[in-house]
């Protein structure tokens, strides 16, 4: 079940990509918001390059840089021209989240609406 805190997290992800969306070169097209267990929220946008970084990496890196280590929930959304729809983490991000926060929850869009799932459900049988 998602709650008001989750809706606020989605709103933060929307705000950061809407503020930084790069419609000319499309270098920044996804926004992520990460809530720590203490309630603090960190955001990020993707950085596009041949070996660029997803928004989830930027958000978690920003949180870690600020000294955070306990993570509760993360969400990523697409650019405003794609209606800020939720985007589930790519394979690389799933692995990173599993290693940094094996009990983190992820907000994803499903046929039944927005769901909150554990990262372990998104990366079954992971050796790490
Ligand atoms: Zn990713």
Residue 22, domain CATH: 3.40.140.10
3-class secondary-structure state, position 109? strand
Could you tell me if residue 112 is inside a domain? no
Could you tell me if residue 122 is inside a domain? no
Could you tell me if residue 128 is inside a domain? no
pLDDT in tens, 63-92: 999 999 999 999 999 999 999 999 999 999
Structure tokens at 3: 């709650």
**Given a cut of 90, is residue 23 above it in pLDDT?**
no
Query: How high is the mean pLDDT of the chain?
Result: 96
Q: How confident is the model at residue 117 (pLDDT cuts 50, 70, 90)?
A: very high
Distance 76 CA to ligand 1 centre (A): 9
What value does the CA radius of gyration of the chain take, rounded to a whole number of Å? Answer: 14
**Given a cut of 90, is residue 127 above it in pLDDT?**
no
Distance 3 CA to ligand 1 centre (A): 24
Cβ neighbours for 88, distance < 8 A, ≥ 6 positions apart: 76, 106, 108, 109, 122
Per the structure, the count of domains in the chain is: 1
Distance 54 CA to ligand 1 centre (A): 5
Could you tell me the residue range of the domain that residue 25 belongs to? Answer: 4-106
Q: Per-residue pLDDT averaged across 35-59, rounded?
A: 96
Total residue count of the chain as it appears in this document: 128
The residues that are catalytic are 56
Cβ proximity of 10 and 75 under 8 Å: yes
Distance 4 CA to ligand 1 centre (A): 25
Alpha-carbon distance 15 to 27, whole Å? 17
Distance of CA 88 to the CA centre of its chain: 8
**Given a cut of 90, is residue 116 above it in pLDDT?**
yes
Distance 91 CA to ligand 1 centre (A): 6
Helix axes 91-100, 55-65, angle to 10 degrees: 20
């Amino acid at each position: 079940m998602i709650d008001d805190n989750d809706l606020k997290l989605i709103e933060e992800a929307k705000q950061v990509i809407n503020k930084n969306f790069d419609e000319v070169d499309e270098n920044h097209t996804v926004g992520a918001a990460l809530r720590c267990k203490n309630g603090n929220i960190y955001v990020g946008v993707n950085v596009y390059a041949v070996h660029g970084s997803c928004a989830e990496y930027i958000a978690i890196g920003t949180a870690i840089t600020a000294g955070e280590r306990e993570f509760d929930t993360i969400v990523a959304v697409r650019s405003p021209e794609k209606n800020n729809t939720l985007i589930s983490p790519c394979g690389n991000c799933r692995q990173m989240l599993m290693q940094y926060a094996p009990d983190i929850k992820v907000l994803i869009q499903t046929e039944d609406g927005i769901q909150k799932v554990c990262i372990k459900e998104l990366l079954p049988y992971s050796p790490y």
